[in-house]
Amino acid sequence: MQKENQACKFAPADRLLGVSEYYFSKKLKEVAQMNAEGKNVISLGIGSPDMPPSEDTIKTLCNSAWDTNGHGYQPYVGIPELRKAFAGWYHKWYDVELNPETEIQPLIGSKEGILHVTLAFINPGEQVLVPNPGYPTYTSLSKILGADVIYYDLKEKNGWMPDFETLEKMDLSRVKLMWTNYPNMPTGANATSELYEKLVDFARRKGIIIVNDNPYSFILNEKPLSILSVAGAKDCCIEFNSMSKSHNMPGWRIGMLASNAQFVQWILKVKSNIDSGMFRAMQLAAAKALEAEEDWYEGNNKNYRNRRLLAGKIMDTLGCKYDEKQVGMFLWGKIPNSCTEVEELTEKVLHQARVFITPGFIFGSNGARFIRISLCCKEDKLAEALKRIEAIV
């Protein structure tokens, strides 16, 4: 006699009712099943850098791991070496002065930081401004934590920049946070000094905290910028940065946030009750990675430029239009009018050409007629993907 499934008698917390499993979590199961069936799918979906960190970074990790005193719990605030390295990196590349003792908080990746910042600043029922299109986690974590999500439009005709005239007309009385992400994902729109100045002015006048997610500023971008370079920005802004994209360390889960000392302290109060410090050897290796000179970043970008050319040919083959001025590790393109909807195209490419491309609707309704191609794929695989797609078009 089959036992009754006792789990069926339970129900999840109400907070799960407004969110679904992460798109890539679900879709990659389908891709894995296709690969198990021998279909050899080429994934151009996720932005997971496939190149290694610098040799010095890996050597530092290996050598530091032998330290018999380095395997215990580490400080919640991160080790001094890493905080100082982040401060030096911001000074060198962004011309931003940060106090490594009080204005920097290392993170186990930026995704963790979204959770901590929301918990530190948002009460249930308060509102957050989230870009459409934008990183889905801004929405899902806000909903899980009981915040009301208010979308603000990013549109192609405005260069994927916020429409400040529309924002000024909105009722913002319950808004506490505004998420921004420049250089932008998924659209590749670059940051400008003018944009950051407008955001800081907007934040100061409206009493809103701007959280700028800035992991893509070293990818195919001639001039990295930080919102914290604007005078007074630290008073009302928090910036995330990540070693996943800039230093080819996605699996290491090392990121950081920077802001004024009070904001950092409040976030630490949350973080210290949720997790512990990262392995010391990893932090020392990350500090070494941050010492990279321009030639290392240029070597990285040389590979991305070559891949970008192939991604552009895939877009052309699919009849998609894209902006040549995009930066970052993706290519964002608009599907042709002949397609009724984006999944008509992406599902055909997946099941007929065995190439996985991300449909833009997962980033919001303003991405409904766009696709995104990741450049985190070797040139030979991109060339093979192009060949397969050419065969079905």
> Could you tell me the strand order of the sheet in which 321-322 lies?
42-44, 355-359, 370-374, 330-334, 321-322
Instruction: Indicate the residue among 266, 289, 312 that finishes a domain.
Output: 289
* Same-domain status, 265 and 320: no
Q: Cβ distance 338 to 319 under 8 Å?
A: yes
Report the percent of the chain where pLDDT is more than 70. 98
* Same-domain status, 184 and 269: yes
Range of the structural domain that residue 245 is part of: 70-289
Query: What pTM value is reported for the model?
Result: 0.94
On whether residue 1 sits in a domain, the answer given is: no
Tokens describing residue 138: 């801004």
* Same-domain status, 239 and 310: no
Report the percent of the chain where pLDDT is more than 90. 90
Query: What φ, ψ does residue 45 adopt, rounded to 5°?
Result: -95, -60
Phi-psi region of 160 (alpha: psi -120 to 50; beta: other; left: phi over 0): left
Which tens digits make up the pLDDT trace of 315-362? 999 999 999 999 999 999 999 999 999 999 999 999 999 999 999 999
* Same-domain status, 171 and 264: yes
- Can you give the pLDDT at residue 73? 95
* CATH number of the domain bearing residue 377: 3.90.1150.10
* Same-domain status, 283 and 343: no
Mean pLDDT of 160-179: 97
Instruction: Indicate the residue among 289, 316, 332 that finishes a domain.
Output: 289
* Same-domain status, 145 and 230: yes
CA 291 to chain CA mean position, Å: 22
Q: What pLDDT band is residue 2 in, cutting at 50, 70 and 90? A: low
Domain tally for the chain?
Answer: 2
On whether residue 183 sits in a domain, the answer given is: yes
Which tens digits make up the pLDDT trace of 65-108? 999 999 999 999 999 999 999 999 999 999 999 999 999 999 99
- Can you give the pLDDT at residue 4? 60
Chain mean pLDDT for the chain: 95
- Can you give the pLDDT at residue 7? 63
Q: For residue 233, with 0-12 CB atoms within 10 Å meaning exposed, 13-18 middle and 19 or more buried, which class applies? A: buried
* Same-domain status, 355 and 332: yes
- Can you give the pLDDT at residue 12? 86
Q: DSSP 3-state assignment of 48? A: coil
Helical segments of the chain, H only = 23-36, 55-65, 80-94, 110-121, 136-144, 164-169, 193-206, 243-246, 261-271, 280-289, 294-317, 342-352, 379-392
* Same-domain status, 85 and 228: yes
Which tens digits make up the pLDDT trace of 207-255? 999 999 999 999 999 999 999 999 999 999 999 999 999 999 999 999 9
d(CA 304, CA 346): 23
Q: How far is CA 200 from CA 191, 276, 287, in A?
A: 13, 32, 29
On whether residue 131 sits in a domain, the answer given is: yes
On whether residue 64 sits in a domain, the answer given is: no
Mean pLDDT of 191-198: 97
* Same-domain status, 301 and 246: no
Q: Which residues on neighbouring strands pair with residue 240, listed in sequence order?
A: 213, 257
On whether residue 57 sits in a domain, the answer given is: no
* Same-domain status, 203 and 173: yes
Instruction: Indicate the residue among 245, 273, 289 that finishes a domain.
Output: 289
Which tens digits make up the pLDDT trace of 13-52? 888 877 777 777 788 888 889 999 999 999 999 899 999 9
Mean pLDDT of 119-139: 96
- 179: pLDDT strictly greater than 70: yes
Q: What pLDDT band is residue 137 in, cutting at 50, 70 and 90? A: very high
- Can you give the pLDDT at residue 20? 73
Q: What pLDDT band is residue 6 in, cutting at 50, 70 and 90? A: low
On whether residue 62 sits in a domain, the answer given is: no
In this structure, of 21-30, 40-49, 158-167, 274-283, the range with the lowest mean pLDDT score is 21-30
d(CA 52, CA 239): 25
On whether residue 206 sits in a domain, the answer given is: yes
DSSP single-letter state for residue 2: P
* Same-domain status, 95 and 204: yes
* CATH number of the domain bearing residue 256: 3.40.640.10
On whether residue 63 sits in a domain, the answer given is: no
Mean pLDDT of 355-371: 96
* Same-domain status, 125 and 252: yes
